[in-house]
Amino acid sequence: MEIPTNITRSTLAVLVPGTVAIAPWLLALVQHTDATLGFKDFPTLAHAALLSSVIVAGALCEGMGTWLESSWDHSRESELEVSEHWYAYLSRSFEREPVGYRYLSRLATAMYFELSMFFAAPSFIVGAGVLAFLRFPEFFWLELGATVVLVAGSMAFFYWQAHDTHKVICTTRREIMRRIGSG
C-alpha cells in the first residue's frame, strides 16, 4: 500500500524539519530553567503546544525553502522554460498517469525535505552548540568552531542537494512534456 503523498510531504517537509529545528532549544529550556512547559499540570495542552511549535517551525523552514525554489525557477527559466513546462505539466490529465509523474512527485518531496532541512539543520546545530556550551563552558572556542563548521557544512550540503534535485525536476519535467506532446 502506498502512503498518500500529502502525508509523506507534510511529514518530510514540515514535521521532521520542525522537530529538528526546535529539539535542542526545548531541551535547553527544560534542562536549564524551571520550565516544565505545562506537562506536569496540563499535559494535553502541553502536547498540543509542542506539536504546534513543531508545525510552526517546520512551516517557516518550508516557506523559506519555497522562496529559494522560486528563485531557482527564475534563474533557470531561459535554460529550461520552467514556467511553460510547469503549467503544461499541471494542465494535463490522463486516464493512466505516466510513470514520470510519480517520479517527479518523489523528487519534489525529496527537494522539499532538502530545502526545509537547509534551514532546520543550522537551528539544530546552533542549539546543540548552546547545549554543549552550557554543559562544558571551558571548551567555548572549540564548541564555537565546531558549530560554525557544522552549520556551514550542513547548509552547503542541503543547498547543493536541493539545487541539484531542482535541476533534475525541471529537466525531467521538460523532457516528459516534450515526449507527450506539450512542448
**Region of poorest pLDDT, from 5-9, 15-19, 63-67, 127-131:** 5-9
Tens digit of each residue's pLDDT (9 = 90 or more) over 133-152: 999 999 999 999 999 999 99
- Between the CA of residue 121 and those of 4, 17, 127, 151, 153, what are the distances in Å? 26, 8, 10, 7, 10
Comparing 182 with 39, the larger pLDDT belongs to: 39
pLDDT confidence bin for 1, thresholds 50/70/90: very low
- Its pTM stands at 0.89
Tens digit of each residue's pLDDT (9 = 90 or more) over 12-46: 899 999 999 999 999 999 888 888 778 888 889 98
